[in-house]
Amino acid sequence: MGCSGCRVRLNFGKVLSKVSVFLTMVLIITYFFYCLTGLCDSAPRTLYSHSAPRGDYELLDDRRRVEDLRPSVRSDAPSHRNRTESEDAQQQVDTEEQPSQNRNGIPVSNTFGTKRFPQAIIIGVKKGGTRALLEFLRIHPDVRAFGAEPHFFDRFYDKGLEWYRNLMPRTLDGQVTMEKTPSYFVTKEAPSRVCTMNCQTKLIVVVRDPVTRAISDYTQTLSKNPGLPSFQSLALKNSSTGLIDTTWSAVRIGLYTKHLENWLQYFPLSQFLFVSGEQLVSDPAGEMGRVQDFLGLKRVISEKHFYFNQTKGFPCLKKPEGSSRPRCLGKSKGRPHPQISSEVLQRLRDFYRPFNHRFYQMSGQDFGWD
């Protein structure tokens, strides 16, 4: 009697252990397939690396992403100093074409999903806050974006559409493929080329006060070329007349109305979203709400994802669960600007005023720059 009781308990024990082994296997296989679809490394995890700490917060920028794939290349290494912008872009593109690796350098073959042309592109403007917008968007589980700037519709168009599509990350149905290249907005041929790819493409333009934008642009060039003439001497045709030099790209890019007119020949206004670069800093969650609506996405990105970093002086992304650090953009974003004389600033403000007003009319939004 006692022995048959033992046998029953023994059999029950065996069944229990088999069931638990079976359940564990099911769990492991499910997780494995989940990861293969790219879901377990999407959104926050692609954003927030688990690499070694770098000071009080982690930095995010496009160059850094490229370096993540090639640990031996540093952005401040001498070999990088004399690169042209075009070479930089090519290197970024080439690097992104490498087989994907996870943050530990282990190759990850993700053959799930499809490489699609972007359904939405951040086309501009340079120094408007385009990197911040893309990085914030990447928190969304239904957004997959190419990390670097592909410059396809301006510099590499002769490589062909398949080359471009191949750069894109794989997406599952319902996910939005995106990229950002701010120079598209001012490239004459870009609208017709984007339309050749798909005239339904959604276009996002981050705009910023053209005067501050010009100074930001100048600051970036100055950081690469410390011998650059003063802002004033580049912005003014000659100091006595005080006429603005519209051939200087830092000035010309700010003529938003001119560039928009070119795009409107191919795309209706309803396909554009104008994001305020100023609002993206003062109220990132509010601006991201508009962007998610425009892209037809569920409002996932909200206030809870941001905090204002006093050291950086900008909003940064809060640390996700399981990660050690919050994330700010890299040091090339949010640089201190040189002091410009109030007279030159006033001349620029007067110069841009009519163009700004025309832009407010065309876009149906008053950005309050003057």
Ligand X SMILES: Nc1ncnc2c1ncn2[C@@H]1O[C@H](COP(=O)(O)OS(=O)(=O)O)[C@@H](OP(=O)(O)O)[C@H]1O
Count of residues in contact with ligand X, rule CB under 6 A: 18
Nearer CB in complex with ligand X: 216/292: 216
By CB under 6 A, tell whether 335 contacts ligand X. Answer: yes
Distance, CA of 367 to CA of 208 (rounded, Å): 8
Window 133-192: residues binding ligand X (CB under 6 A): 182
Q: Binding segment for ligand X among 123-131, 163-171, 225-233, 249-257 (CB under 6 A)? A: 123-131
Helix, strand, or coil here: 134? helix
- 251 lines the binding site for ligand X (CB under 6 A): no
CA 25 – CA 28 distance, rounded (Å): 5
Tell me which H or E stretch contains 314.
strand 314-317
Q: How far is the CB of 288 from ligand X (least distance, A)?
A: 11
- Tell me if 129 contacts ligand X by CB under 6 A: yes
Answer yes or no whether residue 130 interacts with ligand X by CB under 6 A.
yes
| C-alpha triplet 326, 105, 148: angle, nearest 5° | 60
Report the sign of the C-alpha dihedral through residues 296, 186, 97, 60, in that order: negative
Q: Which is nearer to ligand X, 147 or 315 (CB)?
A: 315
Q: Which of 63, 64, 65, 131 binds ligand X (CB under 6 A)?
A: 131
d(CA 263, CA 131): 22
Q: Quick one: 38 or 254, whose CB is closer to ligand X?
A: 254
- Looking at the annotation, which residues are catalytic? 127
Q: Which residues contact 62 (CB under 8 A, 6 or more apart)?
A: 92, 131, 147, 148, 149
* Residue 320: alpha-carbon gap to chain centroid: 18
Taking residues 196 to 235 in sequence order and writing x for each that binds ligand X by CB under 6 A, - otherwise, the string is --------------------x--x----------------
The stretch near ligand X (CB under 6 A) out of 110-118, 130-138, 340-348, 361-369 is 130-138
Question: At 159, which amino acid appears?
Answer: K
Contacting positions for ligand X (CB under 6 A): 126-132, 182, 216, 219, 280-281, 314-315, 329, 333-335
